[in-house]
């Protein structure tokens, strides 16, 4: 974890909590220059969007994906398992962060051990956390 990445201006939020998505959108829009932010409260819809919109593998910049762990229809870990089955060209278009209120050490350890995940960020997203992400 804590790999350094280039700052992006395109964000995908996957969290069943609409209020957290709204807070994250507001922080991103206040902290960045005209970010594109798309949010999903149903993880399956987020996966479908990723598969349909990024299938060509020719994005001009990476998209930052922020997703929760604890969601009712699919956990964040199940989401990542499905994401990991996508073609390499599609997966390479994303920088993935866990954005969760989980304080379970097992979740944090799983995030550290998962090669898809750049970092584990505790909710709510704020400007300081954004600086740490892209600093």
| pLDDT tens-place string over residues 6-25 | 567 899 999 999 999 999 99
Q: What is the model's pTM?
A: 0.91
Sign of CA dihedral 48, 83, 51, 34: positive
Q: Is 90 exceeded by the pLDDT of residue 28? A: yes
24 within some domain:
yes
Q: Is 60 exceeded by the pLDDT of residue 83? A: yes
Count of domains observed in the chain: 1
Under a CB-based contact definition with an 8 Å cutoff, are residues 65 and 12 in contact? Answer: yes
Question: Where residue 68 sits, what CATH number does that domain have?
Answer: 3.40.50.2300
Q: What is the mean pLDDT of residues 114-118?
A: 95
Domain range holding 62? 10-134
76 within some domain:
yes
Q: Is 80 exceeded by the pLDDT of residue 60? A: no
Answer with the residue of higher pLDDT: 49 or 3: 49
3 within some domain:
no
Q: Is 60 exceeded by the pLDDT of residue 3? A: no
89 within some domain:
yes
Dist CA 91 CA 55 (whole Å): 9
62 within some domain:
yes
pLDDT, residue 4, reads: 43
Q: Is 70 exceeded by the pLDDT of residue 5? A: no
130 within some domain:
yes
């Amino acid at each position: 974890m804590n790999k350094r990445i280039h700052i992006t201006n395109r964000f995908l939020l996957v969290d069943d909590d609409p209020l957290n998505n709204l807070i994250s959108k507001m922080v991103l829009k206040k902290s960045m220059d005209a970010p594109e932010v798309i949010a999903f409260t149903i993880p399956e819809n987020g996966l479908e969007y990723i598969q349909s919109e990024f299938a060509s593998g020719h994005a001009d910049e990476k998209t930052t994906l922020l997703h929760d762990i604890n969601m009712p229809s699919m956990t964040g870990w199940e989401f990542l398992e499905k994401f990991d089955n996508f073609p390499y060209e599609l997966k390479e278009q994303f920088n993935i962060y866990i954005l969760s209120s989980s304080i379970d050490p097992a979740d944090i350890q799983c995030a550290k051990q998962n090669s898809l995940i750049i970092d584990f960020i505790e909710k709510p997203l704020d400007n300081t956390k954004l600086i740490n992400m892209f600093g």
